[in-house]
Amino acid sequence: MRFSRRNNKKKLIPMAASAKRRATKKKLLCFALLAIVFTVLAKHVRTHDHRARAEAAERQQQQQQQQQQGRDGARKAVKEEEFGLDASVLKKEQLVGEVEEEASEDEPEKTTPSSRDREKIGGKCTQPYDVHTEYAGAVVKWGEKNILNSADECCRACETTEGCNAFVFCADERGCSGRRFGECWLKKQIPSGAMRVKMSEGMDVRWTSGALYTNEEFFSAQDEKKKEEELRRKQREKVGNVRAFFDVSVGNTRGRIEFILYAEDCPNHVNAFRALLKNEGLNGDGYKGSHFYRILDKFIDQTGPVKMSGVKRFDDDDYGLHNLKHDRFGLLSSANSGPNTNTGHFSIVVAPAPHLDTHYTIFGEVVAGDDIVWAINDLDKSKPQPGVKAVIEDCGEL
């Protein structure tokens, strides 16, 4: 019997081991099935999340397209109102723009800027150009190596030159400031507003200048120009303003300069000016018989009372000192030795001079006789004319 029990125990050991292996296999199979289930679920979640993101992106793109269509519609309305363009013309412009855009996408990369780049840099040529004007700006291409036949060619050259948004062209066969006829200077400006920055302007300036504008800049520049012109008109036509004149001889040339004096805004300067017109300054001092004693080319024509005494010192006018800018030809600007030291000496500004702002009071402007102002300016010491002076032969109020 003992021998039989031992044999039974030996038989039971292999059976237990086999059952344990089967249980282990079942567990592994369960783990494998769970892993497959989790993998399928994770893939489904990722797919659903990706699809949701794609749908959100598509909705956002549709909203942007709708907003752009709204802006384009508003811009077309502005064009239609400003220029009287009918719907067929606007549609034609739109189709041309779409064709150009598709062509630009298909073309390979070029060294010259694309239409989109030009929008960022400066846009398209616009007319009319500014004659008798020289624009400021960093030189992109030197004019002495860029001789062209017309301002139109110069503007188109600016369109196709990277970084250019303004140009200066010598359209005068006599040359311009020592430069040759046909020189096309390409420039880059970073203006504070939509209007381009001028370095000099006036009948004596032989340059013709122009600028590239994006559509947005163009309409903004037109608005700025209209507002600027309206402000200047109101300034000239204010009730109480005084109209005065100088009869000036420059060698054999004689002519009249007429002024508007801003009496309402700059009473101190205008009262002194009116007194000196009548020789009612200190010791009978006045403008009659005086001459322009300080002349700087394309900057100022300066004069004062004949005896140099003028009137008793008077204060600056705050309005003309802080609200008006030396931004154009023909402004009357005080000449003094510091704040509140005015005696009746003044300059006619012949070109923008922003460095004078807030230092010298502007109290009037030239409204007639620009040619005489430029004839005076030609007497700058760098253009010697021995014995020739610009003399105030007569003066008074109109």
Residue range 216-274, pLDDT digits in tens: 766 776 777 788 889 999 999 999 999 999 999 998 899 999 999 999 999 999 999 99
Residue that finishes a domain, picked among 199, 215, 231: 231
Whether 226 and 243 map to the same domain: the answer is no
| The pLDDT of residue 65 | 66
Q: Are residues 345 and 269 in the same domain?
A: yes
Same domain, 244 and 386: yes
Domain around 286: 238-397
Co-location of 256 and 285 in the same domain: yes
In this structure, is residue 45 part of a structural domain?
Answer: no
Q: Is 328 found in the same domain as 214?
A: no
Q: Are 260 and 166 part of one and the same domain?
A: no
Which helix (H) or strand (E) segment holds residue 395: the answer is strand 390-397
- The reported pLDDT for the residue numbered 12 is 54
Domain boundary among 204, 231, 258: 231
CATH of the domain at 161: 3.50.4.10
Q: Are residues 186 and 300 in the same domain?
A: no
Q: Tell how many helices (H) and how many strands (E) occur in the chain.
A: 8, 16
Is residue 365 classed as helix, strand or coil in its secondary structure? strand
> What CA–CA distance (Å, rounded) separates 98 from 110?
20
Residues 349 and 381: beta-carbon distance below 8 Å: no
pLDDT of residue 385: 76
Global confidence as pTM: 0.55
Does one domain contain both 222 and 266? no
Average confidence (pLDDT) per 10 residues, the chain, 398 residues: 50 62 76 74 56 62 65 52 41 44 42 40 67 87 92 91 90 89 90 67 84 72 81 92 96 94 95 94 92 91 91 94 92 93 94 90 95 91 80 94
Quote the pLDDT of residue 211.
85
- CA dihedral for 112, 118, 122, 123, sign (positive or negative): positive
Q: Identify whether residues 146 and 283 lie together within a single domain.
A: no
| Residue in 308, 348, 346 with CA at minimum distance from that of residue 329 | 348
Q: Is 225 inside a domain boundary?
A: yes
Residue 132 forms part of a structural domain: yes
Q: Is residue 40 part of a domain?
A: no
For the chain, the residue count is: 398
Looking at the fold, whether 247 and 223 belong to one and the same domain comes out as: no
Residue 103 is assigned to a structural domain of this protein: no
Of 177, 205, 231, the residue that ends a domain is 231
The answer to whether residues 266 and 364 belong to one domain is yes
**Is residue 64 domain-resident?**
no
- Domain-embedded: residue 69: no
178 with 243, same domain? no
